Structure 1
Amino acid sequence: MLFEAPNPDQQLWDCALRLLSRRDHSRRELAQKLRQRQFDAELIELALDKLERQQWLSDSRFAVVQVRQHVFRKHGPLRIRAELQRKGVTQVEIELALEAEAPDWFELALACYRSRFAFAERLDIKERARRVRYLQSRGFTSDHVRYALETPPE
């Protein structure tokens, strides 16, 4: 019995679908993963175009899902934007995804702060700076951080 050599187009297509079956990817992210697997750049672009036409690959859907996941993990808007930009999502799609989710960033910062730190009546400079750095590393703006630190417990 003779085996045919696998068709590179079909291998690429199968690999792309396998990756997308696990989770959504941005176009840039999927292209990068396919390049790492040594597929031809032109074939990759053709496959990505076909996936987008069939709506199996969508940067806008990817952005919405990513925003939702980051909000669930109590990440702020700065971190979410940076992460999506790094993955190749356009600024317009990022803003639309953030508007679609539309969390109250101040309350999210407060929830993040309270889940990490116990209330303290007074904080010394070092401890306050540590708490500020924590919230900033989570992607919250200085206004969100100030709100979280200055809101008294219920």
Structure 2
Amino acid sequence: MKRRPDADGDKKAKPSAYSKALGLLARREHSRRELKLKLRQGGYEGQEAGEALDRLGSQHYQDDDRFAEVLVRTRVAQGYGPMRLRAELKSHGLPDARIRAVLEEAEVDWAKSAADQLRRRFGGKAAADMTERARRAQFLLRRGFPAATVRNLSLIHI
């Protein structure tokens, strides 16, 4: 089906950077860096995008701290470990001190979380041999659990 041209031509008026970013935030939380990238990809100039992000921040529509808390809560529920969370938060431009604080505030028992992931993935059976133990250890490491958690608690034997 062909589009009919509007009265003023075929192009719609482009929304402001503020409106575009607000629309993105209405769907889910975004980090400032992520919004800036999306606005840049949408063709908005640096100054316009920066002003829009400053305005959204001052109105508390965009908040990197809130974004970090939501992301950590979501990823912990999905069974990811602290190393993976740290890397993901770092990729969103959060400072190391804030990342440490958010992970501490989450108050997660990482050993229990790792054990839960193993049970979910492999059931309740013990690992039959060294190959199976290595496979389970690699699974936990890929999900972002520290090697010390895997090694110290002998989780791969679950």
> Structure 1 length normalisation: TM-score?
0.87
CA contact (8 A) 2:18 2:56 kept: no
Name which of 52, 69, 73 aligns with 2:74: 69
> In the alignment, does 2:128 pair up with 1:123?
yes
Alpha-carbon offset, residue 89 of structure 1: 1.7
* Matches for 1:13-92 after TM superposition, within 5 Å: 13-92=18-97
Q: Which is further off, 119-128 or 135-144? A: 119-128
Q: Which is further off, 89-98 or 39-48? A: 89-98
Unaligned regions of 5+ residues in structure 1, if any?
Answer: none
**1:13-61 C-alpha deviation (Å, 9 max, x unpaired):** 1111100000010000000000000100111111111111111111110
Q: Let me know the Cα RMSD of the aligned residues.
A: 1.9
CA contact (8 A) 1:59 1:93 kept: no
Name which of 108, 112, 115 aligns with 1:103: 108
Alpha-carbon offset, residue 122 of structure 1: 4.8
Unaligned regions of 5+ residues in structure 2, if any?
Answer: 1-6
CA contact (8 A) 2:18 2:53 kept: no
Percent identical: 39
SS at 1:39 equivalent = coil
CA distance in 1, matches of 2:127, 2:100: 37
Alpha-carbon offset, residue 133 of structure 1: 0.7
Residue type at the aligned position of 1:78: M
Runs of 4+ in 1 over 3 A off after TM superposition: 119-122
CA contact (8 A) 2:84 2:144 kept: yes
CA 1:97–1:31: 2 relative to 1, 3 Å? same
Name which of 98, 107, 117 aligns with 1:93: 98
Name which of 140, 148, 156 aligns with 1:149: 156
Q: How many residues align?
A: 147
SS at 1:32 equivalent = helix
CA contact (8 A) 1:26 1:58 kept: yes
Q: Which is further off, 90-99 or 63-72? A: 90-99
